């Protein structure tokens, strides 16, 4: 029985190791194909799209908030606060995961990867991608219109692709960033809805008590 258990453990360990190696190989192979075959035009496009991430994400709740204050639109102001909160939650989660995972950038491990710039932070998850997806998902949840969703996710996906094209992230970094960004926005959305619903219920109870 002990021998049988030992054999099972050895086989499981070997299978896990093989799966990890296979996944890692697929990860770097896909990155090599995207990073190594890019044209100058595509590289310039990737550089531009990547550079828009922080500006677009941070300006979105700010512009919404300013317009809300000018127009005295309480709902828009609430939405602006929510989008800002979603971005904040995503930022904290991204920073924390980078510190926990400690994954080096692909060009450090694989010298044949040619980065457009050398990043100082860790690789997993992709901060640009998570920020883009957090912003777009937050907007899409509040404004589920095709003219918000379609161009928004096209931009977010372009940001993710640009990080591969520029050679600064693995595909798994980008996928993890996209899931983290969208997840942060969704969880924040649920908490936001619960908060305002609870607040409205308290107001209603207070009004009924007063009457």
pLDDT digits (tens, 9 = 90+) for 100-113: 999 999 999 898 89
Q: Given this model, what pLDDT does residue 60 score?
A: 97
pLDDT computed for residue 104 by the predictor: 93
The C-alpha atoms of residue 25 and residue 163 are separated, in whole angstroms, by: 18
Bond prior to 125 in cis (omega within 30° of 0): yes
Task: Say what the pLDDT of residue 16 is.
Answer: 31
Predicted pLDDT at 196: 74
User: How large is the C-alpha radius of gyration of the chain?
Assistant: 22
Range list of H helices, 72-167: 74-101, 106-109, 127-142, 146-165
Per-residue pLDDT at 116: 85
Q: Give me the pLDDT at residue 54, please.
A: 95
Please state the pTM of the whole predicted model. 0.83
Q: Given this model, what pLDDT does residue 4 score? A: 32
Residues in the chain, pLDDT under 50: 1-22, 207
Domains of the chain: 43-210 (1.10.606.20)
CA angle 152, 86, 154 (to 5 degrees): 15
Instruction: End-to-end CA distance of the chain: give it in Å, rounded.
Output: 76
Check residue 133 and give its pLDDT: 98
Q: What is the pLDDT of residue 120?
A: 85
């Amino acid at each position: 029985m002990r021998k049988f258990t030992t054999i099972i453990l050895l086989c499981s360990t070997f299978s896990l190791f093989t799966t990890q190696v296979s996944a890692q190989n697929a990860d770097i192979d896909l990155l090599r194909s995207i990073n190594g075959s890019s044209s100058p035009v595509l590289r310039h496009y990737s550089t531009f799209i990547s550079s828009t991430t922080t500006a677009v994400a941070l300006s979105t709740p700010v512009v919404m908030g300013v317009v809300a204050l000018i127009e005295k639109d309480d709902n828009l102001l609430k939405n602006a606060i929510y989008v800002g909160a979603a971005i904040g939650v995503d930022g904290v989660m991204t920073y924390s995961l980078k510190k926990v995972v400690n994954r080096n950038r692909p060009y450090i491990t694989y010298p044949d990867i040619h980065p457009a710039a050398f990043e100082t932070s860790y690789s997993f998850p992709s901060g640009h991608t998570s920020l883009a997806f957090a912003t777009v998902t937050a907007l899409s949840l509040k404004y589920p219109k095709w003219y918000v969703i379609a161009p928004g996710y096209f931009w977010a996906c372009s940001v993710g692709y640009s990080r591969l094209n520029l050679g600064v992230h693995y595909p798994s970094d980008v996928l993890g960033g996209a899931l983290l960004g969208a997840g942060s926005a969704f969880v924040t959305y649920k908490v936001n809805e619960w908060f305002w619903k609870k607040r409205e219920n308290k107001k209603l109870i207070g009004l009924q008590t007063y009457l």
